[in-house]
Amino acid sequence: MRRLAAVLTTALALALGVGLTACGESDPVADAGAGDTREITHAMGATKVPAEPKRVVVLDTDKIDTALSLGVTPVGAATAGEAKSWPTYFGADKLTGITEVGVLTEPDLEAINALKPDLILGSKFRQEKFYDELSAIAPTVFTEKVGVTWKENFLLDGAALGKEQQAKDLLAAYEKRAKDFGAKLGDADARKISIVRFIPGNIRVYGPDSFSGIVVGDTGLGRPERQRLEGKEDKRFDLVSAERVNEVDGDVVFVTAYGEKAAAEQAKVTTGSLWKGLSAVKAGKAHVVSDEVWMTGIGVGAANKILDDLATYLAA
């Protein structure tokens, strides 16, 4: 018994030693092994993650965008409730082999465990109550907020995936592209871009701290006064009733719908007289765009797709 205890104690000490030295500057044994780890500080604390994770589960739409943008195909991913799908703007071939693991706010823990992940990426905003259970399955890294901090989230998730420099490079390239696009327009700030989203039972206008609002802002394009949300603590979005849809007007209006029910409501409102009376609609400058790109993508891949739409519709 004493010998067994000594063996177990030695094994434990060795295991701890590898975990600790792998996070240090150098250790020949750890550096040569497959068990290298790095410590990532995130919304829920600090977590040791594999240096090169191979089986990643992602629990928010921005995490799917981030992983695919960085060349990592998750083994599992949650879906956005009404959308019931993953980002199609990467192409169907990029989604092959991903297993569904519930929806954003209710991840399927049993399905996640069955995938034997070595890293889980999630969001404190959406999945905080599941953190302990997820951490018991695999090293779990959570970002704090959604949307407003999308760039910081991208870099944090990139670091967790072992792709920190690649993430920095992709973000810098996007920001340069956005700035260059606005400069080529010449009068970017003079053009007031309205962003409207239909969700079941509501119409939203999106402000400067939303994902799509940040992307539009990165180009230097202007926003209608109603959508600057000045004086409001939350500058992500605000609600507009169907009876006051005239408040969504701008020089150019981009419209999305979240799911089939919202699309039906959008069709009803946009065939009405109030909508048809908008100056942008009369000028032929109201455009229906992809909700998964403008709203749920929340990553550098989606951000570049928004720039594609802006280039398409503002070039004329």
Per-residue pLDDT reduced to its tens digit, 222-271: 999 999 999 999 999 999 999 999 999 999 999 999 999 999 999 999 99
| Orientation of helix 211-219 relative to helix 164-185, angle to 10° | 60
Q: Does residue 12 surpass a pLDDT of 70?
A: no
Please give the pLDDT value at position 168: 98
**pLDDT digits 0-9 by tens, 267-287:** 999 999 999 999 999 999 999
Question: How do strand 140-143 and strand 119-123 relate by DSSP bridges?
Answer: parallel
Cα diameter, the chain: 86
- Separation of CA 239 from chain center: 22
pTM of the full structure: 0.86
Q: Looking at residue 271, what is its pLDDT?
A: 95
Judge contact between 46 and 39, C-beta under 8 A: yes
Considering the chain, what is the average pLDDT of its residues? 89
pLDDT band of 93, cuts 50, 70, 90? confident
CA 140 to mean position of chain CA atoms: 17
At 83 the pLDDT is: 64
Task: Pick 84 or 263 by higher pLDDT.
Answer: 263
pLDDT for 68? 96
More confident residue, 193 or 26: 193
Cα–Cα distance measured from residue 43 to residue 135, given in angstroms and rounded to the nearest whole number: 13
pLDDT at residue number 316: 54
Indicate whether 8 pLDDT > 80.
no
The tens digit of pLDDT for each residue in 106-154 reads 999 999 999 999 999 999 999 999 999 999 999 999 999 988 999 999 9
Residue 33 has pLDDT above 50, yes or no: no
Beta bridge partners of 256: 197
Contact 194, 248 (CB under 8 A): yes
Domains and CATH numbers, the chain: 32-162 (3.40.50.1980), 182-314 (3.40.50.1980)
**Torsion angle of the four alpha carbons 7, 10, 14, 20, in this order, in degrees rounded to the nearest 10:** 140
The per-residue pLDDT for range 289-309, each reduced to its tens digit, is 999 999 999 999 999 999 999
Q: Which pLDDT value is given to residue 19?
A: 37
- Nearby residues of 158 by Cβ (< 8 Å), 6 or more positions away: 66, 70, 164, 166, 167, 168
pLDDT at residue 81 tops 90 = no
